[in-house]
Structure 1
Amino acid sequence: MSASVVPAEPEAEEKPRKRAPWGVIALVLLTGLALIRNGSGEFDSGPPQPETAAAAQGSASPRPSASPTGSAPASLPFSEADRVRIPMIQVDAPVTPVGLDSDGWVAAPPPDDPNLAGWFTGSVSPGEKGTAVVVGHVDNNRGPAVFYGLGALKKGNHVEVRRKDGRTAVFEVYGIEVFDKKNFPGDRVYGSTGAPELRVITCGGGFTKQNGYSGNVVVFARLTGVR
C-alpha cells in the first residue's frame, strides 16, 4: 500500500485536543500497521493465534458489560495512557503516545524497545466514552516483543491501563480475532459502541519474508472497573 491519506477537519470536541474522524483513523491505522514489519516472524513456532471459541461476536455494537451492581462504570475524563498491564500474558509495559507520521501513516512504537506499547492519540483516552486504541509490536529482529502473546487471551481476561491522572481503567476481554489486513473491518474494530471500550492490536496471522504478517490480532474489551 502506498496511497497517502489526507485527514479531514476533525469535529469539535470538548476535549483538550483535536481528533481525526474515525473513518480516516481506521484507514490510516490499518495501513500503518500493515506497513510495520514487526520482526522476522521466525522465532520458535510463531506467536499464538486466537482460538475460534474466543472470537468476538458478530455484532458491531455490543452492549457494555454491567458491573456487579447492575450498571456499567461511568466513563472517565481525558487522561493520557501511562502503562498497560495484561496479567494473563505477563505484559507490564510503559505506553507512549503515537500519532501519524509525515506520510500520514500511524507511527508505531519504536521497534528497538520490545517492551513498549503505543496509545493512538487520534482515539479517545482509555476509560473515556468511545473506543481507545493501544498498539504494539508482536516481535522484532531480536525476538518476541510486548504483544507477542496477545493471541492467547480469552474472554474474561483483563487489560489494565494506568492513566496519567493516577487512575487505572480495567477492561474485560469479550472477544479476540485475527483479521486479514486486506479485508480489515475498520468500522467494527474502531467504531464507538457508545460506552468506554478498548482495542489492543498487534500483527498476526500467516508470515512470509516478502510480505511480513498477513493479519492483525485484535482484542475487544470493555470498561468494567476503575481504581
Structure 2
Amino acid sequence: MIIDSAATTTATATGKAGADQQRLEEDLFNFLNLLVTQLQAQDPLDPMDANEFTSQLVQFANVEQQIYQNSHLETLVGLQESNQAAAMVNYLGTMVEAEGKSFTLADGGAQASYTLPETALETTLVVKNDRGQPVYTIGGETGAGRHSFEWDGHDADGRPLPDGVYTLDVSAKHGDQSPMPVSQTVYGRITGAAADGGRAVLFMGDVQIPMEDVLSVREPERQVTDRGEPASDSEA
C-alpha cells in the first residue's frame, strides 16, 4: 500500500510565505530607521519631500498585502492536496475500471475491454509482456460497440505466465484496410495511491492510473464459504 501525504507540500508553502513576510518586515524596519534618521537631520527651512517616502510606504503596504494573499492561496492549495490525498485513500482495495492499455496479471487472470466505433473488417488483440514482447494473440470481435476481454494468463502455447505488468494492444481495420480508432479500458484492484506533481495517481499493482482516468469503482467481490458466510483471509 502506497500513500504519499500532501503535508510536506503544505509545510513548504507555508514556510515560504513566512520567509517572505520576515524579509519584508526587515526591509520595512530598515527603511523606517533610515527615514527617522533623515527626518532628524533635515533642514527645517528645506524639509524632505513627503511624497517620496509616502510612496515607498504605500509600496511596502502593497507588497505586504500580496504576501498575505499568497500565503492564504498556498494554504488553500495545501488543503486541497490534503483533501485529494484523503480521497485517494477511499480507492484502496476497490476494483476500478480505467482508461488505458496496461494492466496487472494477478492470480493468473486479467480483464480488459475495447470499444469499436463501427463494424470492423478485422480486429486483432495482442498481449505483450513488460519488455514489449508479444505473448498471446487472438482475433477479436468486429461488431460496433463495447467488448470484454478476459485472459487466463497463458501464452499462445498454453503455458502459464508469471504475474506482472502486461499491455493489451487492440488493432482494428475499416473495410478499406485503414486503421480504426479503438478505445480501451482495464480492470483491477487499487493497491496504492500517491500525489505526483499535483496529480492524484492510483496504483493497480505496478501500473499507474491517473485518478481522472478512472471510469467506475466497485467493491471487491467477497468469497462465500459453503456455509453461506464471507470467507476469511485464511479461507479465501
TM over 0.5: no
TM-score, normalising length: structure 2:
0.23
More helix by share: 2
Say which one has the larger Rg. 2
Q: TM-score, normalised by structure 1?
A: 0.24
